[in-house]
Amino acid sequence: MTVLLTGTSGFIGYHLAKSLLEEGHTLVGVDNLNDYYSVQLKMDRLKNIRNAFKESSYKFYQIDISSYEEMEKIFRDYTFDLVINLAAQAGVRYSIQNPLTYVNSNVTGFSNVLELSHQMNINHVIYASSSSVYGLSDEIPYRIEQQVDSPISMYAATKKSNELMAHVYSHLHGMRTTGLRFFTVYGPWGRPDMAYYSFTKALYNGDEISIYNHGELQRDFTYIDDIITGICGLVNLDFDSLDAKSAYKNKYNIFNIGNSKPVKLMEFIDTIEKIANKPFKRRFVEMQKGDMKITYSDIKALSELIDYTPITNIDVGLQNFVEWYKEYHNVS
């Protein structure tokens, strides 16, 4: 299978690229390598892939998906069996100060991916949505059937718009689209703007950490390997072989992909502290705009479809991350 993967130098994109290549797929990777966080980290991810796999199996292009002309050339130069769109401007808090950046990448960019996939008769587009679309909803756990009409950040609004645009293309053109609402993904090679990464950095630097909402937050932390297992299960699934009565026979599907076991923020912090055997300098502060008090995924649909079962608990996942962090940043 030949796959176009946008956001290939990102955290999830990097791990997914490795997994798809290990399965024997041919991969074309696209990423704009923006400086929202460390470009060096993104380059190191790319270097690892290039060192591990043959050039004939993996081609990389530094392209911004918001450029229709550049994306069109990629679509015309290759014949893709599947498109996976993980490219996006990430970060809930950053979207409050920089909303237009999110519109450009997450809305314009994704519309380019959908339109070109339609023009080139791509059978299936898998794309990243987010748990942030649940916004002000107080229905816990979050179910894919519930309304998501109250986003509380520009990031969440753009992800909701992605789901709506995908629905249009599925409805009008019969294109199969599968949206994945990711729940707080963490692990080695992760994003420095995420709390677990910035907390660990502060710990080893001896800096103080700010704990929002006085620690009264919960997150459905999901280890990267479990996320990749879920995505690959969908990549390798033959939807056309499903029973005619299956709810997932539809061309348009949305799935939660999380751990389904919320962890209290203070437990998360205590676990990092225990693994590192170092105490945090803590400062408790008020809730930050755009934050959700709890995220909690109902993963029944994905479990029914591909037997998705997360297996990595927070102790193992954070142990793996801290060990990677120390090696990558050369700290002890």
Task: Give domain limits for the chain.
Answer: 2-185+223-259+296-311
pLDDT digits (tens, 9 = 90+) for 9-59: 999 999 999 999 999 999 999 999 999 999 999 999 999 999 999 888 999
CA atoms within 13 A on the CB side of 170: 19
Q: Which residues, in sequence order, are CB contacts of 151 under 8 Å at separation 6+? A: 132, 133, 135, 157, 159, 160
pLDDT digits (tens, 9 = 90+) for 103-147: 888 999 999 999 999 999 999 999 999 999 999 888 999 999 999
Exposed/middle/buried for 245, CB within 10 Å: 0-12, 13-18, 19+? exposed
Which segment, 64-68, 100-104, 212-216, 277-281, is predicted with the most confidence on average?
64-68
The predicted structure's pLDDT at residue 244: 79
The predicted structure's pLDDT at residue 3: 98
Average pLDDT on 309-316 reads 97
| Catalytic status, residue 155 | yes
CA atoms within 13 A on the CB side of 288: 15
Instruction: Look up residue 103 and give its DSSP letter.
Output: I
pLDDT band for position 236 (cuts 50, 70, 90): very high
What pTM, to 2 d.p., does this model score?
0.95
pLDDT digits (tens, 9 = 90+) for 92-106: 666 677 777 788 889
- 248 close to 242: Cβ distance less than 8 angstroms: yes
- Of 77, 163, 75, 161, the C-alpha closest to 121 is 75
The predicted structure's pLDDT at residue 317: 98
Least confident of 152-166, 191-205, 228-242, 274-288: 274-288
CATH, domain 2-185+223-259+296-311, list 3.40.1190.20, 1.10.287.70, 3.30.200.20, 3.40.50.720: 3.40.50.720
> What does the radius of gyration of the chain's CA atoms come to, in whole angstroms?
19
Q: Looking at 58, 155, 223, 296, which residue is catalytic?
A: 155
Which secondary-structure segment (H or E) carries 331? none
The predicted structure's pLDDT at residue 137: 87
The predicted structure's pLDDT at residue 92: 66
